[in-house]
Chain A
Amino acid sequence: MDFALSGESKMMVKAAKDFALKEIEPVTEKIEREDALPDDLLQKFAKARMLGMMVPREYGGIGSSALNVILVAEELAKTASAAVFVMALNNSIAETIHYWGSEDIRQRFIPSLCDGSNYASMAFTEPATGSDPTAITMTAKHEGDYFILNGTKRFITNGHKNGSGVFYAKDETGKVTAYMVEKNTDGYTWSKPWSLMGLAGQGLVDIFLKGVKVSQENILGEPGKGFHILLRWIAGERIQQMAFMTGMGQECLNQSLKFAKERMVRARPMTAMQGFQWMLAEMHASIEACRWWTYRVACMQDAGDDFQIDSAALKLFVVPTIQEVARKALQIHGSYGYCKDYKIERLYRTIAHAGITASSTELQKTIVGSALARSKDI
Chain B
Amino acid sequence: MDIIVCIKQVPDSYDISWDKNTGSLSRQSASAILNPIDKNTLEAAISLREEHGGFITAISMGPDQAEEVLREALGMGVDKAILLSDKVFAGADTLATSYALSCAIKKIHRFDMVICGKESYDGVTGHVGPQLAEFLDLPQLTNSTEISLKKNKVLVKQKIEDGYRLLEASLPVLITVEKHINQPRIPSMEDIMGAYREKTVDIWRGEDLNGNTEGFGLNGSPTKSKSVYVQKLEKGSAEILKGEPDVTAKRLVEILKENGFL
- Complex contact B196–A53 (CB within 8 A): no
Q: Which residues of A contact B (CB under 8 A)?
A: 6-8, 10-12, 14-15, 18-19, 22, 47-50, 53, 62-64, 68, 72
- Enumerate chain A residues within 8 angstroms of B75, measured Cβ to Cβ: 11, 15
Q: For chain B, which range describes its interface: under 10, 10 to 19, 20 to 34, or 35 or more residues?
A: 10 to 19
Q: Contacts A7-B68, A8-B197, A11-B71: A49 and B190 contacting too (C-beta < 8 A)?
A: yes
Give me the interface of B with A, judged by CB distance under 8 Å: 67-68, 71-72, 75, 186-193, 195-197
> Is the CB–CB distance between A12 and B186 below 8 Å?
no
Nearest-Cβ distance from residue A4 to partner chain B, whole angstroms = 13
Instruction: Check A7–B71 contact: CB distance below 8 A.
Output: yes
On whether A18 and B186 interact (CB within 8 A), knowing A11-B72, A11-B75, the answer reads yes
B residues within 8 A CB of A11?
A: 68, 71-72, 75, 187, 192, 195-196
Contact call A49/B189, Cβ cutoff below 8 A = yes
How many CB-defined contacts (below 8 Å) exist between A and B? 50
The 3 closest A-B pairs by CB, nearest first: A49-B188, A8-B196, A49-B190
Q: For residue B196, which residue of chain A has the nearest CB?
A: A8
Q: Helix, strand, loop or mixed for chain B's interface?
A: helix
Least CB distance, A1 to chain B, in whole angstroms:
22
- Nearest A residue to B184 via CB reads A18
Whether A62 pairs with B186 at a CB distance below 8 angstroms is no
A22 and B186 contact, CB distance less than 8 A: yes
Q: A8-B196, A8-B197 are in contact. Are A62 and B71 (CB under 8 A)?
A: no
Q: B196: which A residues are within 8 A, CB to CB?
A: 6-8, 11
Query: Which residue in chain B gives the minimum CB-CB distance to A61?
Result: B190
Chain A residues near B197 (CB, 8 Å)? 8
The answer to whether B188 and A47 have CB atoms under 8 Å apart is yes
A72 vs B186: C-alpha distance when bound (angstroms): 14
- What are 5 A-B interface contacts by the 8 Å CB criterion? A7-B71, A11-B195, A15-B75, A15-B189, A68-B189
With A11-B192, A47-B188, A64-B193 given, name 6 new contacts (CB 8 A): A7-B196, A8-B193, A8-B197, A11-B196, A15-B186, A49-B188
B189 touches A72 (CB 8 A): yes
A64 proximity list for chain B (CB < 8 A): 189, 193
Query: A50 — which chain B residues lie within 8 A by C-beta?
Result: 188-189
Complex Cα–Cα for A49 and B187 (A): 9
